[in-house]
Amino acid sequence: VARVQVPRNAVGTPGTVSRQTAKLVAPRQNVLRVKTAKAAQNAVKLATRRSAMVCKAQAAETASDIMSKIKPGVVYGKDLVTLFDHAKKNGYAIPAVNCTSSSLINSCLLAAKKANSPMIIQFSNGGGLFMAGKKLDNTDQKAAIAGSVAGALQVKTLAEL
């Protein structure tokens, strides 16, 4: 609580504030409130960043732990269930990338290998069509399916290397 000494106004009545004094006092109080609010916001942002960095570091450690138990390559069946259970239990997410080209598939595989971390490579209808060739006739979704299968074969072939 701040104390403000209130001067007498022009009439000389003690305890009343002149308009001029009110104009001088009010902005200072508002500035103090704004500065306090900004300081609080900055503290929250900093704490959030620090906790996010700690969470990322912990998630990276736990993802590396499970990768030593699962063989490299495309994961399916019991290994996939084990991987998802481990991620859920340890509170981390497995990144997923919607791939639309062979170079993007290669980049994802390289990133997963460097990080020693699992990654989901997925193909949407449009992504599969783009893999096959955007100008192809997509009657009955045949081009989108063919592009997705081609991408999946590339992933399967290169993931084990």
Model-level pTM greater than 0.85?
no
The per-residue pLDDT for 1 is 45
The rounded distance, in Å, linking the Cα atoms of 24 and 27 is 6
Give the CA dihedral 3, 6, 7, 11, nearest 10 degrees: -170
pLDDT tens for 63-105 read 667 777 778 788 888 888 988 888 888 888 888 899 888 889 9
Backbone angles phi and psi of 97, in degrees to 5: -125, 130
Q: Indicate if the alpha-carbon torsion angle 66, 71, 72, 78 is positive or negative.
A: negative
The per-residue pLDDT for 100 is 87
